[in-house]
Amino acid sequence: MITPSYVATLAAHSRWVNDGIFAGCDQLSDADRKKDCGAFFKSIHGTLNHILWANQMWMHRLAETPAPIAAAIPGSLNQYESYDDLKREREVLDDVIRDWAADLDQSALEGNLTWYSGSSGREMTHPRWILITHLFNHQIHHRGQVHCLLTQFGVETPVTDLPMMP
């Protein structure tokens, strides 16, 4: 079982890493950010859009925040065509996640959550603490892909290790 303090730490870490990843992305042209590099979500831009979409979807389920614009994973890659809009929405959502995490109590981590999974095509039920952990783990996975693509573009990538967080 996780604790509210653990969730708050992950939220702070997420914001710190996202800020660093976007600072790296700022060094690229829009064409380079949108270039199909053969990644799972094709480009840096597509991957960042997907991460944001998934965070919006999980926060909608967990905290009843607004649902993402795109209805399903395929649309998540192009949810925000403009990099500036994507970056702004990432910052806004990171603040929402950080505030939500700061206000959690232990009861918010207990019990199950049931939702309809569009990607699985069925209703699913899992412990809330597992799903909250997944909210962060999913973006860590895909940010690693963006980190790799930034490296391939010659961008000096930020440190992302949790113990290095200021």
Q: Which of the four pLDDT bands, split at 50, 70 and 90, describes residue 142?
A: very high
* Contacting residues for 146 by C-beta, under 8 A, at least 6 apart: 21, 25, 44, 47, 48, 51
pLDDT tens-digit readout, 39-74: 999 999 999 999 999 999 999 999 999 999 999 888
Phi, psi for 122 (deg, rounded to 5): -160, 165
Compare 71 and 95 and report the one with higher pLDDT: 95
Mean pLDDT on 11-29: 97
Count of all residues that appear for the chain in the document? 166
Q: How far apart are CA 73 and CA 161, in angstroms?
A: 28
Q: What does pTM read for this prediction? A: 0.96
Q: What is the pLDDT of residue 126?
A: 98
Residue 158 reports pLDDT greater than 90: no
The ranges assigned to domains in the chain are 4-158
Fold for domain 4-158? Four Helix Bundle (Hemerythrin (Met), subunit A) (1.20.120)
Mean pLDDT on 96-111: 97
Maximum Cα–Cα distance for the chain, whole Å? 46
Residue 1 reports pLDDT greater than 90: no
Q: What is the pLDDT of residue 75?
A: 84
